[in-house]
Amino acid sequence: SKTMFPGLRLGYMVLPRGLVEPFVTGVNELHRAGNVPMQAALAEFITQGFFASHIRRMRGIYAARLHLLQETIAQRYAGSEVEVCGSDAGLHLVLLLPSRCDDRAIVQEAAAAGIGVRPLSAYYHEPAGAPRGLLLGYGGVAEEQIVPAFEALASILDRYLLIKPKAAKNHLGIGTC
């Protein structure tokens, strides 16, 4: 359901024919019946090819968001200690930070500013020795919000990275003090 509408609360599996019956039996034993009309509508949506069309359309949208986020990060942090990885799957990037950065504190500050990111260290059994970084999701962020949201996050990150803010420019494009 995440690929269409999370509130739909439906999922499906594509199985080899030999596994269909055992899985149906297992699901019937473990779960109550779902929303049967919604399941029928979803099955028709998939059968008629609308789901595949939706996926193709969303791939383009997500690719544009990913590219914009990567470009924004590169413009801000090219040549710095910040590394980007994890763009091969999912709808997120991992921003790797130097070990001196407290990713959990950064996440708290970001949340206070209305920015939702997750600390990479939270995904490790031993967070104290885990790599520091941020999980940046872009799937649910409108393209026009990506740059301003990242700039707001970067203003927080820069303090932890010990990077001085870029000098403001006047109307002539000359840096000011």
Identity of the residue numbered 157: L
Q: What is the pLDDT of residue 173?
A: 47
Judge if 88 and 40 occupy the same domain: no
Residue of 155, 139, 162 whose CA lies nearest to 93: 139
Q: Is residue 173 a part of any domain in this protein?
A: no
Q: Please write the tens of the pLDDT for every residue from 94-107.
A: 999 999 999 999 99
Q: Is residue 174 a part of any domain in this protein?
A: no
Q: Please write the tens of the pLDDT for every residue from 35-92.
A: 778 888 888 999 999 989 998 999 999 999 999 999 999 999 998 999 999 888 889 9
Domain total of the chain:
2
Judge if 44 and 67 occupy the same domain: no
Instruction: Tally DSSP H helices, then E strands, for the chain.
Output: 5, 4
Judge if 33 and 101 occupy the same domain: no
Q: Domain range spanning residue 74?
A: 63-161
Residue 123: which residues within 8 A CB-CB, separation 6 or more? Answer: 130, 135
pLDDT over 80 (residue 117): yes
